[in-house]
Structure 1
Amino acid sequence: MKRIFFITALLFLIGFSGMIYGQVVAKFSSKTDSAGRARSMMKLAQSSIDYYTKTFTYKGLKPEAKVRMHLERSGAYVILKKFDKAIDDCTAAILINPKSGEAYATRGNIYNKIYKDEPAIADYRKAIQYITTTEDKAQLYNLIARSYINTREYDKAVSADSMAIVLNPKFARAYASRAEAYGRLGKFQLAINDLLPAMYGFQDNARALSVLLMQRADMKRALKQYKESINDYSLALKLNPDNGLAYWNRAASYRQNGDYQLAYEDYSKAISYFKNDRMQLARLYDDRALMEVGLQQYQQAIADDSVAISLDTAYRVAYYNKANARAQNGEYTRSNAEFKKTIPYYMNNPLAMTSIYSSMAHNEYFLNNYQTAIDYCTKAIALNTVDWSPYFERGRAYLKMNNKDLAVNDFKEILARDTSKQSADYAFSLYYTGNADKAVEVMQSSFLKTNDTFVLMGDYYNMACLYAIMNKPGEANNFLKKCIDGGYNKKYALTDGDFDNIRNTAEFKNIMGVR
């Protein structure tokens, strides 16, 4: 029997693949100044500081002039990144005129720039009390929302952006910001609804539209609308072909739609955009490795996960996936050596450890080390997680050691635990507890539930195993041929004890290419 770890056992490890919810409203069209221009600006800023400092010594300056000069000097200090002095100037302006909305707003912007969101919010709210224009108030509410997003107070961000939109119904940045907050709250359809008016406001800015389309695609992907999300990512890339994040996220949609080759190609394109970020690059190589597993390209997957580990030695997922790729390739001893490397990273994660011990038991079963397989399963079961796989692996090992009663007890445990009643483990447990017809029915029903080639080939393989242990060589070889013709690994099948009943048939030998 084949365990399809790639699809079913990695959720606790890989999370939601791809990157999501990029900040889309912060300075869409900002450009990096050249070094020469930056030097000129700094020189001009220092000159401004010197001028205003000298001017403050003049007698007879009116209060409104002093407020303006403090704010102008504050801006110059910001250019020089002397933020404390910039804040001091804003505070001085407020002491002169406690009703200066501009002074509060300026100080709020400085706090925002140095990631002090709470004082920024307080200043923005003060500014709203004294600023009279509707559009400026809307801008301030949007800035408050951005600060709440930074502090992960997404409900408050939604409320602030909603106020901005009430004040200015065409405020594109507020729609985009509220969409991000909705996305963070898991309210994906509401986010999608906001992104359309956001796009209207940036229809003349191709790069901004690209980011907004990518954000909408993220939301659709979260709603499992994979084809629709792929369309939006493609539109984003048409507007900005250098949007590396869109390639990455489109790859994730292709992957979840079962289009492994297209996902592989997009991961490969994304890699070129993250060459200077070792941690993200490690994740991309690992993501591509998963596609190579789906394409039955196990050696390439092993190579890519090796690169991922070299880029980020603490990236534990790559160790697990490399171990799994070796198992899929029939390298059971080396696979367990890799799994052992993952253990220090997951010692405090019972669900992960259950999967690791079950995987190692699976490998030991194929190596005919049945007692070792039982020992690993017993360790997994002692962790008391919801995963039933260690019961299945232990039950099979007990059968090989002629402990039928213990085996049946484990298979009954699976029948009780798997409430979906649809897994391959469930089907095999039905067979081992005397319900062969129902076992076949469960396996057959799985063929109709997926368009994912990798999963379908795994289902064909498991069906072949089931018919083989039922001693039905014709049916077993028929399903085995389907999965081998689909690119399945012969090395794995040749070492699978489930095929012992049909191993000497001419058709099996022909399928496997052995004499």
Structure 2
Amino acid sequence: MRRIFSITALLALLGVTNSVCGQAVARFSPKTDSASRVRSMMKLAQNSVDYYTHTFTLKGLKPEARERMHLERCQAYLILNKFDKAIDDCTAAIAINPKSTKAYITRASIYDGINKSELAIEDCKKAISYSSTDEIKAGLYNLMARSYLQLHQYSKAITADSTAILLNPNLANAYINRAEAFGRLGKCQLAINDLSIALAGYRDKPLTLSDLLAYRGDMKRGLKQYKEAINDYSLSLKLNPDNGMAYWNRAAAYRQNGDYQLAYEGYSKAIAYYKNDRKQLARLYDDRALMEIGLQQFPQAIADDSLALALDTAFAEAYYNIANARAQNGEYARSNTDFKTAINYYSKNPFAMTAIYGSMGHNEYFMGNYQAAVDYSTKAIELHTANSSPYFERARAYLKLKNNDLAINDFKEVLARDTSKQSNNYAFSLFYTGDPNKAIEIMQASFLRTTDSFILMGNYYNMACLYSLMNKPEEANIFLKKCIAEGYNKKYALNDADFDNIRNTAEFKQIIGIK
């Protein structure tokens, strides 16, 4: 029998989930000006600073003139990225005119931009108290909401943006920010509603519209509406064919929808946009490796995860995934070496450690090291998670060690602990405890429960194992041939003791390619 994890299950075991927002969408980032234009702007800004600094030395300036000059020099400092000096000018303007709405708004914007969110909120509140129009107040509530987002105070952000929308129902950015806050709280449908409204405000800005559609796709993924999400990502890419994040997140939606080939192609396209970001590039190679595992392309998966680890030597998930790919490829000893490295990163995660020790026990079983299989499975069991798989792995090893009573006890533990009563382990435990007909029934039902080709082939393989154990060679070979024809790795069958009863049949030798 072979362990089969869905790609989603592999991620879940490691404590890795697809966040509601997927990879962070790079929305509304300023477009880069040409180098010559930047130099020209910087020169003009410095000239402006010099001019106002000199003018402040003149006598007889009226207070309102000094207030205006401080705010104009502030703008020049902002171009020069001298934020402290820009703040000082705003503060000076406020000292001249404590009700200077423009000074409070400008300083709040600067504080927001440099992540001094609490100070930004305080300035927004003061500016609101001095503002005369609903439009200005709406913008301030929206700015306040952005600062709340930076502080992860999502409910307060929603309240602030809701107020902004009441004051100005056409303020598209308020809908966008509120959508982000809803998304962070897992309220994906509310986020989708706001994003759908915001889209109308950016019809003449295709790049921004592309980002909004991609973000709405993220929210639909959060609701498991994968086909709808894919449609939004595709619309996003029509507007901006260079939206690397949309390629990445569409690939994730394909993955979650079980379309491994399309996901693979999407990750491959996204890779081109992250060549200068080692950590993100490493994650993309690891994501693509998972798809290659799903496509039974284990050497390619190993190669991609090797690239990921070369880019990020502390990439925990890649160590786990390359270990799993090696195990699937029949490289059991090297798999366990990688699992041992993964332990360094998951030692405080009992669920991941249970999976790692269980997988190592599985590898030792296939190498014929049955006592080592027992020892690793016991380590997994001692972590006291709800995972019943280590009991199954240990039970099989006990059988090989002729400890039948201990084996039966562990098989009974699987039957007691596996509340789904539908897994392959559960079916095989039924067989070993004397109910082969029920085991076959459960395995047959498993074919109807999934459209995932990787899992389905694994289920065919395990059905072949079960029939072989029951000494039914004709049925066993039918299912073995079915999974091998779909591209299943032959290495497992060559080493799997479950096939000992049919190994010498002509059909088995033909399927595996033994002469």
Using structure 1 for the length normalisation, give the TM-score: 0.97
Distance 1:134 1:24 in 2: 30
Paired residue for 1:159?
Answer: 159
Deviation of residue 358 (structure 1)?
0.7
Q: Is the partner of 2:323 in helix, strand or coil?
A: helix
Counterpart of 2:12?
Answer: 11
CA distance in 1 between counterparts of 2:451 and 2:117 reads 47
Structure 2 counterpart of 1:512, one-letter code = I
Alignment-derived partner of residue 168 in structure 1: 168
Q: Using the alignment, how far apart are the partners of 1:246 and 1:284 within structure 2?
A: 13
Instruction: Give ranges in structure 1 of 5+ residues lacking alignment.
Output: none
Q: Which residue of structure 2 lines up, in the alignment, with residue 117 of structure 1?
A: 117
Counterparts of 1:328-343 in structure 2, within 5 Å, are 328-343=328-343
Separation of aligned partners in 2, 1:54 and 1:287: 58
Whole-Å Cα distance in 1 between the matches of residues 298 and 275 of structure 2? 24
Report the CA distance shift for 1:64/1:25 in structure 2 as closer, same or farther (over 3 A).
farther
Other structure's SS at 2:2 match: coil
Change (3 A) 1:26 1:140: farther
Aligned partners of 1:176 and 1:198 also within 8 Å: yes
Partner of 2:396: 396
User: What do the CA deviations read for 1:210-253 (whole angstroms, capped 9, x no partner)?
Assistant: 11110111111111111111111111111110011111111111
1:23 shift after superposition:
5.1
Relative distance call for 1:331 and 1:304 in structure 2 (3 A) is same
State the 1:419 CA deviation.
1.1
Aligned residues, how many?
A: 513
Within 2, Cα distance between the matches of 1:204 and 1:412?
Answer: 65
CA drift of 1:6 comes to 4.5
Task: Please say if residues 25 and 177 of structure 1, whose CA atoms lie closer than 8 Å, have aligned partners that are also in contact.
Answer: no
Equivalent residues of 2:428, 2:466 under 8 A apart: yes
Question: Is the counterpart of residue 409 in structure 1 residue 406 in structure 2?
Answer: no
Aligned-pair CA distance for 1:54: 2.4
Per-residue deviation, 1:512:
1.1
Q: Distance in 1 between matches of 2:211 and 2:90?
A: 34
* Whole-angstrom distance in 2 between the partners of 1:20 and 1:500: 46
Residue 257 of structure 1 aligns to which amino acid in structure 2? Answer: N
Tell me what 1:493 maps to: 493
SS in structure 2 at match of 1:10: helix
Residue in 2 that maps onto 1:57 = 57
Instruction: Determine the structure 2 residue equivalent to 1:208.
Output: 208
The residue number in structure 2 matching 1:441 is 441
Secondary structure, counterpart of 1:241 in structure 2: coil
Structure-2 separation of matches of 1:378 and 1:93: 71
Q: CA deviation at 1:25?
A: 5.4
The superposition leaves residues 330-369 of structure 1 with CA deviations (integer Å, 9 ceiling, x where unpaired) of 1111211221221212222221111111111101101111
Is 1:97 aligned with 2:97? yes
Deviations 1:288-336 (A, max 9, x none): 1111111111111111111111010000111111111111011111211
SS in structure 2 of the partner of residue 232 of structure 1: helix
Identity of aligned residues (%): 69
Is residue 195 of structure 1 aligned with residue 195 of structure 2?
yes
1:257 match = 257
Question: Structure 2 counterpart of 1:435, which letter?
Answer: D
User: Separation in 2 of the partners of 1:20 and 1:172?
Assistant: 22
1:22 corresponding residue in structure 2? 24
Q: Secondary structure at the match of 1:57?
A: coil
Instruction: Supply the distance in 1 between the matched residues of 2:51 and 2:33 (Cα, whole angstroms).
Output: 25
Higher alpha-carbon deviation: 358-367 or 15-24: 15-24
In 1, are the aligned partners of 2:247 and 2:269 still within 8 Å (CA)?
yes
Cα distance in 1 for residues equivalent to 2:27 and 2:153: 17
Question: The residue matched to 2:276 in structure 1 has which SS?
Answer: coil
Conserved in 2, the CA contact under 8 Å of 1:188 and 1:223? yes
Distance 1:221 1:421 in 2: 29
Does the 8 Å CA contact 1:354/1:385 hold for their aligned counterparts?
Answer: yes
1:179-218, Cα deviation, whole Å (9 max, x unpaired): 1111111001111111111101111111111111101111
Deviations 1:261-286 (A, max 9, x none): 11111111111110000101111111
- Which residue number corresponds to residue 142 of structure 2? 142
Which residue number corresponds to residue 281 of structure 2? 281
- The SS at the match of 2:14 is helix
**CA positional deviation for 1:59:** 3.2
Q: CA deviation at 1:470?
A: 1.5
